[in-house]
Structures are given as C-alpha cells and as structure tokens.
Amino acid sequence: MRFGHATGPMSFETSGIPALTRCQVGDGTVWYLEAPIGSDYHHKSNYWQAEWFRSLLERVLPRPLGRVVSDCGSVEIVPYTDTDGAWAFLINHGGEQLNFSSGCSRVFPVMPPYPVTLEFAVPEGKTPVAATVAGNAQEFTFSDGVMRIPQICDSIWRVVRVEWK
C-alpha cells in the first residue's frame, strides 16, 4: 500500500496483519517490515517518511554497533568489530544518478561533500583512544558509551578505524 504526500490510509482499529515483526534467531534478532518505505517516490525522497523510518530504527535498535547520522542521507555504513576496536566502511551514494529506463546507475567522478557523524557503540568497560582515516587522526567525542566522529564524505567510499582499550 503506497503512502503519498506524508499521508496514508488510517484506521483506528488494530489490524490482524502485522506491519513489523520480530523473530529471535540464535543470539540475534531479525526484524521484518512489510512496507515499501519510500517506494512511492522512487528516486526522490520524502522527508517525513525518512524521519518516521529513522525514529522506527531508533526504537527497535536504540544502540546499534555503528550508525551514520546525517540530514542529507545517502551514506551507507558496513561496521565490523574486533577486540581492539572497530572498522566502518562508509559508502557514499550521493553522487549516483539512476537511469529510470534501465535501472542502472552511474557515479559522477566528483562526489558532493556530505557532512555526517559516525557513531560507534563502545563496549562496556572500554574507552576509545583513537579514530583514523587513512592513517590520519580524526577528532571524536565520547559520551553515554557512544563514540561520535564527524566526517565529510566527499569520495565514493572511506574507511574509518576506531580503537579502544
């Protein structure tokens, strides 16, 4: 069911069909959302849907391993941890242009700079000591168990390494 212009069909009664389900798998949890978020706008975004989805993610996963916080979006994170810290592989989709007829995309050689804040949940009992990109030290803050690293994503990808002790 599509939602347009930040509105959608409403009901004051609970449906018998869940839109969001959760299933325990081993030590983890799998969430499934039965809704094509943003599909009614295809390649263009709807700010209200993005805000709604962001609040949904914060509710179901309040403390993820890694998260990219950005008003402009378009930067994807693939986090990985080891005993000494973590890696964040950031993929910038902001310079992509979708060809609607073929479904393929092309990437421009000069990427627009996106300001983002990379957040990492630091394991309990650990203290962050460094953040680097290509060996260059990065500024960061640490509070409430979360390490925050401001970045300007101006390339197709970047790798951020964080260390804790």
Instruction: Look at residue 110 in the predicted model and tell me its pLDDT.
Output: 79
Q: Which of these ranges, 1-5, 51-55, 67-71, 114-118, has the smallest mean pLDDT?
A: 1-5
Among 85, 49, 84, smallest CA distance to 65 is for 85
The answer to whether 31 touches 20, Cβ cutoff 8 Å, is: yes
Closest of 55, 68, 63 to residue 146, by C-alpha: 63
156/3: higher pLDDT: 156
Sign (positive or negative) of CA dihedral 32, 72, 135, 85: negative
Of 88, 72, 69, which is closest to residue 80 (Cα–Cα)?
Answer: 88
Walk me through the domains of the chain, giving residue ranges and CATH numbers. 16-62 (no CATH), 64-165 (2.60.40.1180)
Tokens matching residue 48 = 């209200």
Calculate the average pLDDT of the chain: 82
The band of 4, judged by pLDDT with boundaries at 50, 70 and 90, is low
44 Cβ contact list (under 8 Å, min separation 6): none
d(CA 101, CA 83): 46
Residue 60 banded pLDDT, cuts 50, 70, 90: confident
pTM of the model: 0.73
pLDDT at 121: 94
- pLDDT computed for residue 39 by the predictor: 59
Selection from 114, 163, 124, 165 nearest residue 145 by Cα? 124
Rounded Cα–Cα distance for residues 110 and 90 (Å): 16
129, pLDDT greater than 90: yes
DSSP codes, 46-99: -HHHHHHHHHHHHHH-SS-SEEEE-SS--EEEEEEEETTEEEEEEEE-TTEEE-
Residues in a beta bridge with 64: none
Q: Quick: pLDDT tens for 79-121.
A: 998 889 999 999 887 777 767 677 777 777 777 788 999 999 9
